[in-house]
Structure formats: C-alpha cells, structure tokens
Amino acid sequence: MKFSIASWNVEQFKLHTTLKDKVVEHIKTQVPDIFAVLEVVGADVWRYMYKEFPDHNFFITEGKQTQEILVGVHKKFRAFLTQRDEFKSGRTSLRPGPFLTLQVDDEYYTILFLHLKSISDPEGFGLRDDMFEHAFNLKKSLDKVPEANGNAKFLFMGDFNTMGMNLTYLNDVNESDEIDRLKKRAKRKSMTLLPKDHDKTWTNGKGLYSDLDHVVASESIKFKTWNGHKVKVLGWNKYAGGSPEFDEFVNRVSDHCSIYCEIM
C-alpha cells in the first residue's frame, strides 16, 4: 500500500453536541494516512483534532460558509494543499474544495475533497452538475502536465449528495439516474466511479437510506479490493437498524458512514 485515504461527513460536527470521542475512535480504527472531515463547525474542532492526531498536519477551508472541510495529512508525506473556490459555484454558503497534491515514490497524486449541494430541486441538481463539471475539467488540465503522460493520477471523493431531482412525475431524475450519469461522465475522462462494499452511505435513522458518498478516480490508479469492492463503507451500517448503538451513531455521531480506500 502506498497510502490510505478516507472521507466522512460528520453531520454538523460541534464539540459540544457531537460525540467527539466516537468520531476520533472511528477514524483511528481505519488508520487513514489522509482523511477529510466534512461539516466541521467552529475552530475548536480543529484544535481538538490536532491534539488527537499528532502525526498529521491539518488544513481547514475558509470562507463565509458555516460548515468547513478539515483535511489531515500524515507527516510522512510531502504534500501541497490549496483551496479551490470554483466549487462554491458562486454561492458564498457552499464549501470550496480542498485540493491536495501528494508525492509518493516519485509519483504525484492529486486528491480533491468535495461536499456538494444537497436538495433535490432543479437548482440543487444544477449546482451539483456544475461542480462535477469543474472536477472533470481539473482532470483534463492535470492530464496536460508533462509528468502525467496524458492520464493524471487524480481522484475526487466525498459527499456528492447524489439524490436526484424532483421536477414533475414525468421528468424526475432519481438517485440511481444521477449516479449513472456520473459513471458515464467519468468514463469519458478515463475515470471510474469506484464500487463500494455497502450500497448506502446515509440514513435518517427511520428507514430511509441513500447512496450519497462516492470516490471517482483515474483508471491509472491501482486500488486494493475487498471481495471486488474498492471502497469500504463503515459507520452505522455495522449495527442493526433500530438498535441503541445504531440510534446513537446516527443521532449523536453522524447520519453518514465514512468511505475508505487504499492506493497500491
């Protein structure tokens, strides 16, 4: 393994309301070299995580948005991280995309963490579409870098909020339709939507489940597989629905599972 990477939407991560020790325990169980925590609220979270993960350097997005993305990178790697504001799509309330360049064994990997617009109305769907276009345009630009030889090692991951679009009963785009559109767009850019070992990553805790969190990666990147899957999903899905452990995780930790992969 060259490095491991994880992304997790910890819903409204605040130190005084979230079970922060459970968040840390969950991340440490996976032991990711690089991880992103989405929906961080307040600078005190950054300080807490910095103490809990002394082997990692941290970056947090900045702007007028109330929710930030916190990225941790193990100190053993040479890394450069910037903030891509085009993923706000002109909306000050939306999150920018942390864009990480990592050097591993004389190779360069670029990683983009995203938390895309939710809501299944036409505006939300259109904003997600615009954000995906920005991501694929990045791949096109990276392919032109001489060291990439036309196929950059690029991936983007996070909470894509692929919930479809409700317009009318004749023109709706369901969750599966939006995900299929993403697969087709990825293929045209020599990228692929990686298969996960659990088909749902979000729940309301009351019987509703959705597939919102994903990894899209260049075909030139080799991943470890688990029974044919390249992404591990871990969180509330390890508990029986309706159990006390399930309810605590969903209500006090996060309604999202984390997604994790290993680059070989």
Count structural domains, the chain. Answer: 1
pLDDT class for 227, splitting at 50, 70, 90?
very high
**Which residues face 73 on adjacent strands?**
34, 57
Q: How much is the mean pLDDT over the chain?
A: 92
Q: For residue 92, what pLDDT is reported?
A: 60
Task: Look at residue 93 and tell me whether its pLDDT is greater than 70.
Answer: no
Q: Say what the pTM is.
A: 0.94
Q: For residue 22, what pLDDT is reported?
A: 95
Task: Look at residue 5 and tell me whether its pLDDT is greater than 80.
Answer: yes
CATH code for position 185 = 3.60.10.10
Q: For residue 260, what pLDDT is reported?
A: 98
- Which residues touch 141 (CB under 8 Å, ≥6 apart)? none
Q: Is 7 helix (H, G, I), strand (E, B) or coil?
A: strand
Residue 148 lies in domain: 3-263
In the chain, what percentage of residues exceed pLDDT 90? 75
Q: Do residues 258 and 24 make contact, with C-beta atoms less than 8 angstroms apart?
A: no
The more confident residue out of 80 and 62 is 80
Region at 228 (left for phi over 0; alpha for psi -120 to 50; beta for the rest): left
Question: What is the average per-residue pLDDT within 186-192?
Answer: 96
